[in-house]
Structure 1
Amino acid sequence: MTGGRDELDRARRQAEALAEQVKLLLKTEQRLSATQRALEEQVRRIEIVNELSLSTARSGDAAHVLDRALASLLTAFPHELAVAFVRGDAGLSPTAARDSAGPTSIVNAAPAVSPDLVPSAPLTADDSGAWLAAVDRSLGTATIDPRAPRRVLVLPIGDGAAVLVACTLGAPPSHARPLPGDEDRPFLELLARHMSVALEAVVLRRRTLESETLFQTGFAHASTGMCIVGFDGRLKRANAALCNMLGYGDEELIGLPVAAITHPVDRERSEEVMRRRDPEPAHLELEKRCLRKDGTSFWARVAASRVDPTPHREGYWFAQITDVTARRTLEETERMAIVGRLAAGVAHEINNPLTYVLFELESLERAGLRERAARSVENALAGSKRIARIVRDLKTFARHGDDDTVEAVDLSRVIEVVLAMCNAEIRHRAHVELELEPGTFVRATEARIAQVLLNLVINAAHAIGDGDVKRDTISVRTLVDDADAVVTVSDTGVGIPPEDQRRIFEPFFTTKAPGVGSGLGLSISASIVESYGGSLTVASEVGKGSTFTLRLPRWLAAERVQSPIGQPAFARPGIRLLLVDDEPMVLRALAMMLQPEFDVVTAGGAAAARAELSHDARFDAVVCDLMMPGESGMELFEWLRASRPEVAARTIFVTGGAFTKRAQELVARVENPVLEKPIDLAKLRDAVANVLQGKRRRSAS
């Protein structure tokens, strides 16, 4: 009996243990099922977010994006109605709506909710009167029994720019998924972030499209020529204005290199500018000659901005081209008018020294080179040097109209030239006070700066009129002001009324009497100064006079270049020179001047020089006139470069100043020294020393 009872107890314990294991298995299965359901729900939500992202990725319509967001919200949670509200100036207005069947119509699109009611985080509540009323008003659902259980989900997007509102119309069925709770907040916030990004992308795409449309419209219909040029130097796009300007059809310009529409003289400069890849400047301006399809040319101002490449886009230049031929013609006309006004004074200045040069030379002839010879020669030389100085100064204003070479310009030196040329215009009106400070180098074209300063000085003289030389003053000063070189031109003339000062730089405005001024001088002067990054201003008081202030950026590099470098060594005797000139008198005089120091051989023209060099090329240097009839010095130089490059490297050019375009281009291209007639012996000596030492620095007189 005892044994049977033990067996029963053991069996009971085993059954109880088995029951516990079954309970444990059931609990484990329940946990696994709950975990599986949670994972399935997470996967489903990920799929909802993924579907939302894909469906809105390229959408440009905010209403479509909001509709897809409502669909995602209703898929995730069992609501029957959902409305999207967008914030505007008057409040939040309904923009899209859905029910369980799909998109539904908005009956009333008027603002329905105050922005103050937008929560900062997702909100789930059994009752939210303002939001439910807004849904009813928007969809016309006010007939629904207000006593029915209602729940609302409010999901703010971004900073409240939009709000999604979903609501039930009754208690959810027992088999439905539970409505959102605190555990759902991370998912709702993720959904809101995706929606915010999608809406921002819509706004960005719309603005980009508007900007592109605006650019395309402006580009196509602008009156200024516009084009896009790749970094390879070829045109990618061109507007109608540029096509008309150049005489090409709409598609003919595309693919053409910029060189094809640029005058040969300006191509190298234009291409050098386009090759720049420095961080600064990303914007540049230049004036150059453009070629039309028919081969004619015109002056154009090119303003270009560089657009650097990105991983998704090639870099390019965006350029605006303006025809400035008329403006340059006006400038040239004004410059010639100024030179014309100076003609009488220049003739006077030249005739005076010529008179006593001739007188002294005649005295030499009569005296038979006796007691007055030394003094007469001294006076004749002084007069000749004065003539040479006047002619040299005059050439500052007589540069070729197309020569816009930018170089180091010393404002103080140009002022001295201008005052010398204006002497006949000034000396009967006022005395001149001059204060010049060193270090006033600027980067510009000397002839243009001289034109500006000449205009200012002549205007000052005209403002004084028939003045009192002892009392009236024209003051010209240069000074250095940090990074700027400054010139002031002051007069004690009649002054300019305030109402005229506001218009003084306008084209064709003048305060002078009819026939005295064109009204273009100051306008053109201001334009020239501004083209070099400077400014021209005026301060004036009626009855006391005026002061014009010219301000230009200093060119510090030029000041370093202009620093004294010392006289080159010149001690080697027996230096052999070949002199080439077509004028026998000039050749003989030059040889007589040089023979005490050099072993001189002369050649009366390029052909004679070529024969001499073919027979014996052992010359230390060649001094050659650039402009000769028949075979010119340029052609002789090209022959030397091809056959005797070492002699070409030691060639010194001489010119009387009458440059052709070809001569200008040659001088700009090579580094050989250039001397101007009448030749200064010291400068020739320095030039010879430099070429013998291999210094190819240009040394203009």
Structure 2
Amino acid sequence: MSLEANASPIQVLLVEDDEDDFILTRDCLRSIGPRRVVLEWVANCEQALAALESGRHDVCLLDYRLGSMTGLELLQRARQRGWHGPFILLTGQEDDTIDHQAEEAGADDFLQKSQLTPTLLGRSIRYALKHARTVQALRGSQESFRELIERLPDGVSVQEGDHLIYANPALVTLLGCSSREELVGQSITALGEKFLQPEAWVELQHDISESLRSGCPIPPRENRVLREAGGHSLVEITQVPMMFDGKPCLLWCVRDLTERRQLQARLLRADRMASLGVLAAGVAHEINNPLAYVISNLDHLETSVLPRAELSEGSRREARELLSDTRQGAVRVSDIVRQLKMFSRVDEDARPESVDVHRVLEMSIGMAMNELKHRARLVRDYGEPLAVEAQEGRLGQVFLNLLVNAAHAIPEGHVERNEIRVVTRAQGSEVLIEVHDTGAGIPEDNLERVFEPFFTTKPIGVGTGLGLSICHGIVTSFGGRMGVESRVGKGSVFHVTLKAAAAARPAEPPRTPVKVAAPRRCRILVVDDEPMIGMAIRRTFQRDHEVVTLTSAREACERLTGGECFDLILCDVMMPEMSGVELHQELSRHSPELAERMVFMTGGAFTPKARTFLSQVKNRRIDKPFSSQDLRSLVDPAPDAGTGSHSGGVL
């Protein structure tokens, strides 16, 4: 069996007692291809054993927790009843102990449901089926043993006495040897000392002695093997006593875990990036709410309260200076929040669009400045305004990573001697972005490997070796290129080349304002679950307009659909119970004229539904934090209001 389009469908048995997890697994299998997989679902162990005894299934996917019995116990019972097909264990938790138990019990793979994707599941099934076919053939015929292990993807060797008498091509490739003659005939001691680190070889020697004494296989052990040409690979080593050509020998199986670990690391990083994006959006939203009424109240204090206060000129001047300093601090917080919001908008599936290069660079510099300022002077060598085809959040990740890497290449102190230079240039139909540093540089031997996953020149425990690999993947996904030049002791230059775009995406699409005939005293409704925001807006408008504040969109909906009328409705987008989006939808059905008078207040943390809605609706939007002037612009008429034109405001 295989997952190829022209192969017979794979018969899969899923043992799962949770319907939601069944749907998750079913959808992953459907994504592989509806004609390639036939799925049968059972919910308990007795049904599973009966189904397996029928012999019609190629592979079994089973949950780790199945009521009173675990998936491992079911696996053992099925083996005892004679079913030798492949098992893939599914679990809802990350547990190295369960992973180890699954391997000892004979499961072919161990997958976490939270990281389950069609690619990962399809690859696991392919490997399980391939491995199952190999085991079945080995069990059926000793004569075909050599041919089979010659084709195995895992490295296999046979030890007789203290010498290796056989090695398959996969092992030769795995160890980086040019031919099997470099291995066959060599003593196990010499090979162990050559391809394993000293402490790992000492432990393996102990296992060999115990295996020879007891006649039992060595349990699977993970090690790093040193390759002939340099570098290393993470492998799983298993040893089994057996007969080979009629003689007692030891069979060694060496499985390369590099690809599996890389995939797991990418999935884990993707999950963490998604979590960080949600966290960043949530933090930005929570900061923007109090920041909105802080800035609005500062404006009100300066423009309305302070002029009426009975203060000496010196005290009044001091108060204005304090207000100015406080406002500057609030604006700095607002800038930081705006940077967080940009990095929270990372959508892997979004299509590239026109992005302002200098805007994204400035956001990234703001995020990295704490790392930069203690190590080097930052120099901006920007060309003309540039736009590229990319995604703003993901491009920001690339720039941020390059800036932080440049900073880490330079030791702290001596800022005046070091420089990090950011260069942008147009090159025909492309845009070049470079990050120069005067750091330690990269040895020439390592330059070709800097974009490889897990390769790092940083000390153990400091870097994962994934940053540049992920940056390279992001840039190439945009149709761009990434390169590096470096000299030890002189510094490095990282190049990013992207397709030029016609123009940068506007920060916000134009909104169609609602117009009335002439300026007048208005009724304004404010709907926000943060009471302090309503109070701040009330202070701004209360001298000239009637203001009603509510903290519940549901209550607002009841009043508006019940016949109460307002000239302007300021409404938060994200609220519990009923959102601003849902309020607009209700009003559009019952009172379309009121729906047109809504202006949305946003602090970020949008759901995909809210983001799509805001991109399509014609109503205006005001971002938190906002100033009193921003609010007044919504109701103040344009200078030529007397002629009936009101394009400067909503009312």
Residue 552 (structure 1) shift: 1.2
From 583, 588, 591, the equivalent of 2:530 is: 583
Contact 2:561/2:591, CA 8 A, preserved across alignment: no
SS at the partner of 2:578?
coil
Contact 1:567/1:686, CA 8 A, preserved across alignment: no
Aligned residue number for residue 379 of structure 2 = 433
Structure 2: distance between partners of 1:649 and 1:563: 18
Contact 1:607/1:631, CA 8 A, preserved across alignment: yes
Deviations 1:271-294 (A, max 9, x none): xxxxxxxxxxxxxxxxxxxxxxx9
**RMSD across aligned C-alpha pairs, in angstroms?**
4.9
Residue 479 (structure 1) shift: 2.2
Flag the 1:526–1:642 CA change in 2: closer, same or farther, 3 A: same
- Greater RCO, CA 8 A, separation 6+: 2
Aligned residue number for residue 553 of structure 1 = 499
**Matches for 1:232-251 after TM superposition, within 5 Å:** 246=32, 248-250=34-36
Contact 1:534/1:552, CA 8 A, preserved across alignment: yes
Flag the 1:565–1:627 CA change in 2: closer, same or farther, 3 A: closer
Structure 2: distance between partners of 1:563 and 1:636: 22
From 220, 225, 233, the equivalent of 2:6 is: 220
From 267, 275, 285, the equivalent of 1:329 is: 267
Structure 2: distance between partners of 1:436 and 1:486: 11
Aligned residue number for residue 626 of structure 1 = 573
Structure 1: distance between partners of 2:358 and 2:535: 37
- TM-score under structure 2 normalisation? 0.50
Structure 2: distance between partners of 1:503 and 1:296: 28
Give 1 or 2 for the bigger CA radius of gyration: 1
Flag the 1:624–1:479 CA change in 2: closer, same or farther, 3 A: same
Structure 1: distance between partners of 2:551 and 2:574: 13
Flag the 1:633–1:556 CA change in 2: closer, same or farther, 3 A: same
Aligned residue number for residue 541 of structure 1 = 487
Structure 2: distance between partners of 1:631 and 1:333: 29
Aligned residue number for residue 610 of structure 1 = 557
Residue 621 (structure 1) shift: 3.5
From 641, 654, 668, the equivalent of 2:588 is: 641
Contact 1:526/1:536, CA 8 A, preserved across alignment: yes
Contact 1:577/1:599, CA 8 A, preserved across alignment: yes
Residue 428 (structure 1) shift: 0.9
SS at the partner of 1:502?
helix
Structure 1: distance between partners of 2:533 and 2:507: 31
From 616, 620, 623, the equivalent of 1:676 is: 623
Aligned residue number for residue 391 of structure 1 = 337
Aligned residue number for residue 72 of structure 1 = none
Residue 251 (structure 1) shift: 8.0
Flag the 1:562–1:451 CA change in 2: closer, same or farther, 3 A: closer
Flag the 1:338–1:645 CA change in 2: closer, same or farther, 3 A: closer
Aligned residue number for residue 452 of structure 2 = 506
Structure 1: distance between partners of 2:310 and 2:378: 43
In the alignment, structure 2 segments of 5+ residues that lack a partner are 9-27, 40-112, 121-261, 303-308, 639-643
Residue 252 (structure 1) shift: 7.3
Residue 377 (structure 1) shift: 1.4
Structure 2: distance between partners of 1:426 and 1:685: 40
What amino acid sits opposite 1:555 in the alignment? A
**Matches for 1:392-471 after TM superposition, within 5 Å:** 392-399=338-345, 404=350, 406-471=352-417
Structure 2: distance between partners of 1:688 and 1:405: 37
User: Is 1:379 paired with 2:325?
Assistant: yes
Deviations 1:29-60 (A, max 9, x none): xxxxxxxxxxxxxxxxxxxxxxxxxxxxxxxx
Structure 1: distance between partners of 2:582 and 2:3: 53
SS at the partner of 2:492?
strand
SS at the partner of 1:512?
coil
Deviations 1:65-119 (A, max 9, x none): xxxxxxxxxxxxxxxxxxxxxxxxxxxxxxxxxxxxxxxxxxxxxxxxxxxxxxx
Flag the 1:338–1:564 CA change in 2: closer, same or farther, 3 A: closer
Flag the 1:252–1:335 CA change in 2: closer, same or farther, 3 A: closer
Structure 1: distance between partners of 2:116 and 2:3: 29
Residue 244 (structure 1) shift: 7.1
Structure 1: distance between partners of 2:266 and 2:549: 44
Contact 2:512/2:618, CA 8 A, preserved across alignment: no
Structure 2: distance between partners of 1:670 and 1:325: 40
**Matches for 1:271-286 after TM superposition, within 5 Å:** none
From 497, 521, 524, the equivalent of 2:470 is: 524
Structure 2: distance between partners of 1:645 and 1:326: 51
| Aligned length, in residue pairs | 385
Deviations 1:366-418 (A, max 9, x none): x9976132221111111111111111212222336667464432110111111
Contact 2:511/2:620, CA 8 A, preserved across alignment: no
What amino acid sits opposite 1:220 in the alignment? N
Contact 2:31/2:118, CA 8 A, preserved across alignment: no
Contact 2:378/2:419, CA 8 A, preserved across alignment: yes
Residue 441 (structure 1) shift: 1.8
Residue 531 (structure 1) shift: 0.7
In the alignment, structure 1 segments of 5+ residues that lack a partner are 1-215, 223-241, 254-293, 302-323, 696-701
Structure 2: distance between partners of 1:482 and 1:500: 31
**Matches for 1:50-449 after TM superposition, within 5 Å:** 219-220=5-6, 246=32, 248-250=34-36, 298=117, 329-332=267-270, 335=273, 371=315, 372-399=318-345, 404=350, 406-449=352-395
Flag the 1:578–1:457 CA change in 2: closer, same or farther, 3 A: same
Flag the 1:336–1:569 CA change in 2: closer, same or farther, 3 A: closer
Contact 1:440/1:554, CA 8 A, preserved across alignment: yes
Flag the 1:295–1:563 CA change in 2: closer, same or farther, 3 A: closer
SS at the partner of 2:534?
helix
Residue 656 (structure 1) shift: 2.1
Structure 1: distance between partners of 2:29 and 2:435: 45
User: Is 1:480 paired with 2:426?
Assistant: yes
Aligned residue number for residue 268 of structure 1 = none
SS at the partner of 2:359?
helix
Contact 1:334/1:521, CA 8 A, preserved across alignment: no
Contact 1:432/1:473, CA 8 A, preserved across alignment: yes
SS at the partner of 1:631?
coil
Contact 1:335/1:451, CA 8 A, preserved across alignment: no
Flag the 1:565–1:437 CA change in 2: closer, same or farther, 3 A: farther
SS at the partner of 1:470?
helix
SS at the partner of 1:622?
strand
